[in-house]
């Protein structure tokens, strides 16, 4: 009798074990299937886009005028040149310096039958840059808008004045929002089709310590574009944000010479590459990641939440090149301040 009871218990235990294994296998299969669906949903459109040609935006939107911010150098200049090559007149917006003047002069020389307008402004808090842009475009039908202006600042958050952080946010996110609001109303009132494009960054969906204001400004911009795309459909306006990987521009000219930047430069895209990808994406997708770094980091954050990544990075933060460099700058400042105090006492 005891033997029979023991046999029954063993049988029941085996059944429970087998059921547990079965449930575990089903859950594992569902998790794998879910990850595959997420990856395919992300990669699928990119594969399709890779076979589609670069679009002529003049023909697509029956456009005669375009506007590009940050048009003096880098991606902005490449965008302005591509619009001009497609036959559009272009308003070039940038810092009021010789780089902007040269960009305009070069385009006028290359395309003498088209018109190019120069708007030198600074996207800073308290500056009425929208008034300057509105004055320069009131008499022309701008239906292709490309907000590209932006800059990067590295270092510890507390080591910069809060006004510096606000200034970066104004340039990278608030100015594009103001520009989009102005031209979306104008394009909608005209009854024409058009597009509004943003140059964001692949950093927006990753933790960005020591460049957090840049990261959060790009996160704001990309999320704004994603939501605006839905509303702008009523105005027959396409909205697209491109999120490039490391690109050879002057964005990094004023940043420290970090080893990671030298590594990324080996795989860097040119501004012309980014322009071609954006022109191939407008009206086809809302967000386009460009470059291997952007693709890999996006897929990584599809699997590992960015908050979890922050927990992983935190104990390793002292190994990040930006951390090391910013710490050295702190020491240099402390040393110079000490010398200054000694000099005052003498």
pTM: 0.81
The model's confidence at residue 341, banded by pLDDT at 50, 70 and 90, is very low
Q: What is the pLDDT of residues 272-309, one digit of tens each?
A: 999 999 999 999 999 998 877 777 778 777 778 888 88
Is the pLDDT reported for residue 61 higher than 70? Answer: yes
Q: What is the pLDDT of residues 69-107, one digit of tens each?
A: 999 999 999 999 999 999 999 999 999 999 999 999 999
Is the pLDDT reported for residue 250 higher than 70? Answer: no
Residue 292 to residue 282: CA distance in whole angstroms: 20
Residue 233 to residue 252: CA distance in whole angstroms: 35
| Residue showing tokens 């090559």 | 85
Min mean pLDDT across 66-75, 162-171, 172-181, 326-335 is at 326-335
Residue 297 to residue 334: CA distance in whole angstroms: 36
At residue 209, the pLDDT reads: 84
Stretch (H or E) spanning 142: strand 142-147
Q: Hey, what are 240's tokens? A: 């697209």
Compute how many other C-beta atoms are within 10 angstroms of the C-beta atom of residue 148. Answer: 27
Strand order in the sheet with 237-244: 116-120, 89-94, 65-69, 142-147, 194-199, 237-244, 287-290
| Residue showing tokens 């702008």 | 232
- Within 13 A of 59's CA, how many CA atoms are on the CB side? 6
Cα–chain center distance at 232: 20
Beta strands 237-244 and 194-199, pairing class:
parallel
């Amino acid at each position: 009798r005891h033997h029979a009871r023991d046999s029954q218990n063993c049988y029941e235990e085996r059944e429970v074990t087998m059921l547990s294994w079965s449930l575990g296998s089903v859950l594992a299969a569902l998790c794998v299937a879910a990850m595959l669906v997420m990856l395919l949903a992300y990669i699928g459109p990119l594969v399709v886009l890779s076979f589609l040609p670069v679009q002529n935006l003049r023909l697509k939107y029956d456009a005669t005028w375009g506007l590009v911010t940050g048009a003096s150098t880098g991606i902005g200049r490449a965008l302005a040149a591509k619009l001009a090559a497609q036959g559009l007149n272009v308003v070039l917006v940038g810092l009021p310096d010789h780089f902007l003047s040269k960009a305009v002069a070069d385009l006028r020389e290359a395309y003498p039958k088209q018109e190019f307008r120069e708007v030198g402004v600074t996207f800073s808090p308290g500056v009425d840059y929208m008034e300057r842009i509105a004055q320069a475009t009131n008499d022309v039908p701008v239906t292709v808008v490309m907000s590209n202006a932006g800059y990067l600042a590295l270092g510890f958050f507390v080591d910069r004045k809060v006004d510096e952080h606000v200034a970066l946010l104004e340039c990278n996110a608030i100015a594009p929002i103001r520009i989009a609001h102005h031209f979306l109303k104008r394009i909608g009132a005209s009854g024409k089709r058009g597009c509004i494009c943003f140059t964001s960054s692949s950093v927006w969906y990753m933790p960005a310590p020591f460049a957090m204001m840049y990261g959060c400004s790009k996160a704001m911009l990309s999320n704004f574009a994603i939501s605006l795309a839905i509303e702008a459909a009523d105005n027959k306006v396409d909205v697209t944000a491109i999120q490039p990987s490391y690109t050879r521009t002057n964005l990094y000219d004023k940043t420290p010479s970090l080893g990671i930047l030298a590594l990324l430069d080996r795989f860097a895209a040119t501004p012309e590459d980014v322009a071609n990808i954006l022109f191939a994406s407008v009206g086809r997708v809302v967000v386009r990641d460009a470059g291997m770094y952007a693709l890999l980091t996006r897929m990584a954050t599809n699997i590992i939440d960015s908050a979890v990544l922050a927990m992983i990075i935190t104990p390793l933060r002292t190994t990040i090149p930006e951390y090391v460099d910013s710490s050295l700058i702190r020491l240099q400042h402390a040393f110079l301040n000490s010398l200054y105090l000694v000099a005052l006492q003498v």
